[in-house]
């Protein structure tokens, strides 16, 4: 099969997607326009999103170019093991729904910096607000935008810069309508995302069948299992060359939990979807997102494994090269380019939906943090609701312009999109999760301890990279180091995160206990046992998710 680029029918399918999303978003905006003078409605869609809109919006915001491109690329390199990011997220979402959401909603917390100010101090809140803005713009927004533009360029031939500008404009159109428009248009985005993603997986499995014999996707799946068994292990052993990326049991009992709990439970970008709802609606929405997460590896990992087997058998030898070197992140665009006319347009729309939805959600979170936690508190304390909404919209546009300008300078395509995000967020996730966890459940925790977790956690994360070099010890009771691309011995980042988290928690406990004033700390949150009571339907859904995860990890261990 040879790529023929996008044809007229593909452009018509994409145009249909654009008209449906933009038209529906405009209709929602017109229906609710009278409420947009309220900042809570603009930023949180307070009381307006249904459980299915919350769940769909969570997934639309999460699944973007780094999943379609980056995770498929890691499927090509690592195999099914990379699906642990998706499947462990399903379990993490249940924990967030059970324990985190009741605390946020009971204490009327709408932004993460607000939580830090209410629980600790304005200093901790301001530091984190500035940090989150920098991280969201310079790492998350840029990687989503640039990887998406590269994929669209591969499929359509449109210049990368034009792709970035076009997707940014589309995302701004959606974002300016507020969280309500984002939430409800995300339902349509997820529909196109799933449908187009399944179409690509269907094509990939059929290509495997055509190459190796048989009929249909089931035979294609059987060929993957029998001809590439090395790509179907969830827990990698130390002898595996990819072990440093997913270090064995750390994905079940170590750093993977910190990555996921910090991302899904302590992240404005994600939690914002549920913070405007009541507890029952929020929990049901998060449970729905958990079920959607279970199917994501079929869409974002399986195509990469199929591309690996086909490449191993001699296909895509030139197409997988970038500057003469094999580039795993080309796996998904190569497959996408081979779709038949019409389906290619659908998958093109799915990829665009994933990118635009994530950008819109990220831009809204950037706008929320800047407007409510910086502008309102430090720049214009008497700002009216109308002024806050206006500033929020200006912040959306400014964030998008900044992302378009700096994205090409970040070297995202050289590192690989998924690895780029994990590397930079991994420096701060342990400290953030430590101060949130102790802030939730230990009333004595002080702001001094929280400040140390923020600054000390980042410092120790950076320093721990070089412990093997400084000590000359590469294999100890606490870690095993492996050479990176330059030959420098490094501790796997997931293991580093686990140790840094324990360091932060231990330091916070010592600092708090050494402070006599911590015994009368007035800044503990309001918590009672009734907050954590679950409905029978939520319990049933949670059991189903856990049973599924137990089966896949047992079967593909």
Q: Please determine, for residue 186, whether its predicted confidence score (pLDDT) is greater than 80.
A: no
CA dist., res. 217 & res. 205, Å (int): 5
Q: Is residue 149 very low, low, confident or very high in pLDDT (cuts 50, 70, 90)?
A: confident
Q: What is the 3-state secondary structure (H, E, C) of 165-196?
A: HHHHHHHHHHHCCCHHHHHHHHHHHHHHHHHH
pLDDT band at 46; cut points 50, 70, 90: low
pLDDT at 504 over 60: yes
pTM given for the model: 0.84
Q: Give 24's pLDDT tier (boundaries 50, 70, 90).
A: confident
Kindly state the average pLDDT of the residues 157-161: 82
Average pLDDT over all residues of the chain: 82
Q: Are 277 and 285 in contact (CB under 8 A)?
A: yes
Q: Is 408 exposed, middle or buried (0-12, 13-18, 19+ CB in 10 A)?
A: middle
Question: Does the pLDDT at position 33 exceed 60?
Answer: no
- How much of the chain, in percent, has pLDDT values that exceed 90? 14
CB 320 within 8 A of CB 331: yes
Kindly list the structural domains of the chain, giving each domain's residue range(s) and its CATH number in brackets, ordered by start.
8-414 (1.20.1730.10), 426-526 (no CATH)
pLDDT digits (tens, 9 = 90+) for 281-327: 889 999 999 999 999 999 889 998 998 898 888 887 777 777 677 77
Asked whether the predicted pLDDT for residue 1 surpasses 50, the reply is no
User: In this model, does residue 113 exceed pLDDT 80?
Assistant: yes
- Percent pLDDT > 70 in the chain is 89
Long-range CB contact pairs, 202-208, < 8 A, 24+: 203/335, 203/338, 203/339, 203/343, 204/302, 204/303, 204/306, 204/307, 204/335, 205/302, 205/306, 207/1, 207/306, 207/310, 207/335, 207/338, 208/306, 208/309, 208/310
- Rounded Cα distance between 128 and 420, Å, is 21
User: What does the pLDDT read at residue 384?
Assistant: 83
Among 40-49, 136-145, 187-196, the minimum mean pLDDT is found in 40-49
The confidence score (pLDDT) of residue 66 equals 67
The DSSP-derived string for 430-486 is HHHHHHHHHHHH-TT--HHHHHHHHHHHHHHHHHHTTHHHHH---B-SS-B-EE-TT
Most confident of 17-21, 209-213, 520-524: 209-213
Q: Which of 136-145, 243-252, 406-415, 496-505 comes out lowest in average pLDDT?
A: 406-415
Structure confidence by residue, pLDDT tens digits, 258-280: 888 988 888 776 777 677 778 89
């Amino acid at each position: 099969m040879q790529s023929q680029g996008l044809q007229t029918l593909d452009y018509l399918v994409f145009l249909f997607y654009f008209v449906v999303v933009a038209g529906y978003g405009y209709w929602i905006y017109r229906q609710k326009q009278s409420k947009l003078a309220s900042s809570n409605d603009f930023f949180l869609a307070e009381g307006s999103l249904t459980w299915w809109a919350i769940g769909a919006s969570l997934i639309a915001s999460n699944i973007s170019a780094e999943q379609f491109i980056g995770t498929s690329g890691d499927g090509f390199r690592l195999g099914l093991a990379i699906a642990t990011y998706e499947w462990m997220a399903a379990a993490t979402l249940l924990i967030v729904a059970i324990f985190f959401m009741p605390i946020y909603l009971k204490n009327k917390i709408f932004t993460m910096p607000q939580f830090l100010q209410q629980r600790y101090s304005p200093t901790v809140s301001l530091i984190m607000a500035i940090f989150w803005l920098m991280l969201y713009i310079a790492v998350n927004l840029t990687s989503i935008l640039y990887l998406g533009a590269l994929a669209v360029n591969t499929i359509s031939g449109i210049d990368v810069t034009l792709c970035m500008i076009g997707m940014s404009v589309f995302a701004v159109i959606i974002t300016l309508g507020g969280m309500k428009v984002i939430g409800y248009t995300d339902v349509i985005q997820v529909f196109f995302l799933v449908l187009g993603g399944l179409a690509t997986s269907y094509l990939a499995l059929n290509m495997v069948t055509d190459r190796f014999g048989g009929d249909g996707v089931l035979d294609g799946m059987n060929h993957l299992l029998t001809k590439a068994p090395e790509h179907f292990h969830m827990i990698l052993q130390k002898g595996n060359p990819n072990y440093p990326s997913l270090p064995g049991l750390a994905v079940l009992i170590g750093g993977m939990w910190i990555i996921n709990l910090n991302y899904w439970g302590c992240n404005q970008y994600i939690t914002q979807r549920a913070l405007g709802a009541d507890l029952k609606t929020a929990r049901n929405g998060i449970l729905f997102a958990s079920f959607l997460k279970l199917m994501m590896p079929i869409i974002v990992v399986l195509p990469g494994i199929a591309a690996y087997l086909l490449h191993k058998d001699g296909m895509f030898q030139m197409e997988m090269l970038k500057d003469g070197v094999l580039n795993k992140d080309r796996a998904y665009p190569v497959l996408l380019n081979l779709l038949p006319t019409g389906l290619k347009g659908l998958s093109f729309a799915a990829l665009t939906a994933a990118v635009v939805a994530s950008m819109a959600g990220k831009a809204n979170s950037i706008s929320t943090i800047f407007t409510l936690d910086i502008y309102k508190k430090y720049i214009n304390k008497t700002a009216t609701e109308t002024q806050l909404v206006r500033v929020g919209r200006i912040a959306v546009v400014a964030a998008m312009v900044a992302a378009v300008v700096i994205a090409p300078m970040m070297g995202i395509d050289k590192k690989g999109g998924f690895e780029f995000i994990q590397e930079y967020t991994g420096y701060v996730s342990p400290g953030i999760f430590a101060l949130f966890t102790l802030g939730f459940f230990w009333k004595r925790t002080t702001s001094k301890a929280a400040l140390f977790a923020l600054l000390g956690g980042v410092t120790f994360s950076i320093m721990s990279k070089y412990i093997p070099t400084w000590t000359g010890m590469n294999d100890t009771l606490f870690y095993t180091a492996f050479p990176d691309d330059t030959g420098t011995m490094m501790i796997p980042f997931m293991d580093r995160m686990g140790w840094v988290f324990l360091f932060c928690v231990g330091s916070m406990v010592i600092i708090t206990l050494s402070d006599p004033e911590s015994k009368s700390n007035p800044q503990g949150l309001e918590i009672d046992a009734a907050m954590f009571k679950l409905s029978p339907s939520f319990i049933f859904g949670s059991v189903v998710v856990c049973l599924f995860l137990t089966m896949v990890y047992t079967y593909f261990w």
